[in-house]
Amino acid sequence: MVSILPLSLQSATVDKNGKRLLGPVDLELGNAGLTIVLGPNGAGKSTLLRLLHGLEKPSEGRLRYAAPRPVAYAQQAFVFQTPVMLRRTVLGNLTYPLTAHGTQRTEAQKQALTWLNMIGLAGHESQRASQLSGGERQKLALARALIRAPQLLFLDEPCANLDGASTRDIERLILKARDDGTRILMATHDLGQARRLASDVLFLNKGQIIESGPATAFFETPQTPEAQAFLKGDLVL
């Protein structure tokens, strides 16, 4: 299989309604690991993820994958902060990415049932996805993103508003995906979660990446006053 990584951004910006939301940003995303994107509200975390995934177009600069774009788009997935459920059953939501890309229905259902067991939703396959709890929906959204074994996974605050048990289940799935070789880029507000999961960190403020590097170095010796203030729990203005 062709690798879509490394992925690079060169002087990329995102402007909307005359306002700069992100950039200019230079970034290279390597082949392995779990990068946590940290920063205060409005720092541009979600915009960065959406730009890298192709949901936003750069106003300036370039986004470059190691593979042609059709291959790159087919090899990545995104989990949104508020999970979007198709108006179908739980099983229908899970089989959708497979059948949409040519997998036979019976094979898709077989794979989906395996995933339902893995995320603890076995027995819910005929239930409408909209009837699941918030945590169950997010697990289903994560399984739907992972079912095609993407090379690159974007997670936009997937545990926001979830309780401890649901967060633990989601983190287990994320770590399993990382161990299975999926490159992960995840935005979060939760410093504890960042410490538990990160192999490296991107710290954003006011649309700029102001610090990046290995997680241990970032958490132990942050270099910028903004990162130091953020880690201390102070307001970052």
Partner 1 sequence: MAEIWQGITAAFWLIVTFDADLYEIAARSLLVTCSAVALAALVGLPLGAWLAVSRYRFRRLVIALLNALMGLPPVVVGLVVYLLLSRSGPFGVMGLLFTPWAMIIAQVVILTPLIASIAHQSIRDLWAEYHDLLISLNTTRPQRIKTLLWDSRRALLTAALAGFGRGIGEVGAIMIVGGNIDHVTRVMTTAIALETSKGDFALAIGLGFVLIGLAVAVNLALHMLSGTEVRDRW
| 65 vs 218, beta carbon nearer partner 1 | 65
| 127 vs 223, beta carbon nearer partner 1 | 127
Give the closest residue to 177 by CA, choosing from 187, 188, 167, 185: 185
Distance CA 17, CA 178 (A): 37
What SS3 state is found at 62?
strand
Q: How far is the CB of 87 from partner 1 (least distance, A)?
A: 4
| 12 vs 52, beta carbon nearer partner 1 | 52
Q: How far is the CB of 225 from partner 1 (least distance, A)?
A: 35
Q: How far is the CB of 55 from partner 1 (least distance, A)?
A: 6
| 2 vs 217, beta carbon nearer partner 1 | 2
Q: How far is the CB of 100 from partner 1 (least distance, A)?
A: 5
13, containing H or E segment: strand 7-16
Distance CA 141, CA 161 (A): 15
User: For the chain, what is the radius of gyration of the CA atoms?
Assistant: 18
Applying CB under 8 A, which residues contact partner 1? 53-55, 73-74, 77-78, 80, 84, 86-88, 96-97, 100-101, 128, 131
Distance CA 123, CA 69 (A): 38
